[in-house]
Structure 1
Amino acid sequence: MRNLERLSTGIRGLDEILAGGVPEGFFVALVGMPGTGKTIACLHFINAGLALGEKAIYVTTEESRESIIRQAAQFGMDFEKAVREGRLIIIDALMRASSDEWNLNLVTVEEMLDKVIEAKKRLGLKARRLVIDSMSAFWLRAPVKAREESYTVKRILAKWNLTVYATSQYAITTGGAFGWGLEHIADGIIHFKRRIINGVLTRYIIVEKMRQTPHDLRAWEIAIIDGKGLVLLNPLTRRLEDEALPEKVSRRIKKVLSGEGQ
């Protein structure tokens, strides 16, 4: 049995908790509420491939191509040069200018897949990484189609030798996915979370699933640093539920549950 090849996430600490990276050919869902770092993780994943001489495809549905390029530049990633040199194709589903070869006129799964396959043929064998950010845009009007369409995306892309990062937005109001989300078809799930602790926004990630991988099961605090991007800081020593409570309150609850406070 040959060794499983893994692709770097572009984030050093994340590679370590994934036993070296994401297994080649996997469909990985990056899920969570807006503002938790999913897009930045996608930028790292693409940049890691470009740094190794690979080519890549990025589908953006909620930001323009220009916005993705500017955001990458903020973290020291030169996507503009990669696009100019023909090493990166950014498919823009937001602006929808018919005169642009790599824009989507209709935000549908079918048209997106057609464009991705066209881009893969154009870039050739060196195109190993694909980001779809986000899949949620394709079923905003019909969340019930999420399960069927996400399965279609995985089934078709499996034939094209691509390792896929696909993001899925969770609703701010409920903290849940739109429709069925991507979790049911994903080979891996990385959940991005956030909490307000002592009046400060704190972000976390936890690898909830990664097949064929002895991954870390802890939640890790992350930071988004200008010039660097997403950085893993440290594993949490308390539960995420406890992190949302003041330390004094958390201690009192534990005493009551253990019978000490009676």
Structure 2
Amino acid sequence: MERLSTGISSLDSLLAGGIPEGFFVALVGMPGTGKTIACLHFINAGLLKGEKAVYVTTEESRESIVRQASQFNMNFDKALRENRLIIIDALMRATSDEWTLNLVTVEEMLDKVIQAKKLLGSQARRLVIDSMSAFWLRAPVKAREESYLVKRVLAKWDYTVYATSQYAITTGGAFGWGLEHIADGIIHFKRRIINGTLTRYLIVEKMRQTPHDLRAWEISIVDGQGLTLTRPLTRRVEDEALPDSVAKKIKRVISEEEH
């Protein structure tokens, strides 16, 4: 089985060398946890090997993606000029060009992605959709149905796909459950406050045909370098303890039964 590097060597080591070619991988989690930076690494890894790639951005402009990549010494601007990278912009619809979505729909996005594949050819092996959540914000109930459609259509075009899904800050839940059900792999990006400091970490929750690591790994994001995994998080009592509300309810029921 051929595996494609994630562009993050420490993550590749958790995945027996990388993502199996042709997989549809969901990167899920709250904003600010590192999903987009992981996507940049994935695309850049292909560009460095002479591949071509497609990036769909729904929550940042094309220019923002290019600037963010340059922050980590990834030259997306050069790849665009050399026609090795196409960034499909679903945010800045006012600036109409060949690679801008007029309507933020799954159908139009797929049409553009297929058009890009035909133009770039077989060297276009990697596709990022960042994020899928934008396509069903008004109708979360359609998330699962449209996720199936996206995976089924893209499977015919020899892409290995990274697709992100945003989780709400307030509830920690997804804006429509879909990607997790159809994904070949799930990488969950999380965050919490430890000793008064924001800590980002990720867990590989699923990766078919891969003996992957099951631990939560702390993430470091550094200018000029990007995202790396630094160490597995230490085991805490809180991780395995019942939530206070559940524990109190159990105690109350036991007390009532005793009396």
Scaled by the length of structure 2, the TM-score of the pair is 0.91
The equivalences for 1:1-262 within 5 A come to 4-97=1-94, 99-239=96-236, 241-242=238-239
Change (3 A) 1:240 1:213: farther
Percent pairwise identity: 85
Contact persistence 2:180–2:186 (CA under 8 A): yes
Q: Deviations over 1:77-97 (max 9, x none)?
A: 000000010000000000013
Q: Deviations over 1:23-59 (max 9, x none)?
A: 0000000000000000000000000000000000000
Q: CA deviation at 1:241?
A: 4.2
Letter in 2 for 1:60: T
Whole-angstrom CA distance in 2 between matches of 1:241 and 1:183: 26
Letter in 1 for 2:131: S
Letter in 2 for 1:232: L
Contact persistence 1:136–1:181 (CA under 8 A): no
Name segments (4+ residues, structure 1) moved above 4 Å.
239-243
- Partner SS state of residue 171, structure 1: coil
Whole-angstrom CA distance in 2 between matches of 1:142 and 1:91: 22
Gaps of 5+ in 2: 241-259
Change (3 A) 1:240 1:205: farther
Q: CA deviation at 1:240?
A: 8.9
Q: CA deviation at 1:113?
A: 0.2
Contact persistence 1:98–1:105 (CA under 8 A): no
CA RMSD of aligned residues (A): 1.2
- Partner SS state of residue 169, structure 2: coil
Scaled by the length of structure 1, the TM-score of the pair is 0.90
What count of residue pairs does the alignment treat as equivalent?
Answer: 240
- Partner SS state of residue 47, structure 1: helix
Change (3 A) 1:13 1:240: farther
Q: CA deviation at 1:239?
A: 4.3
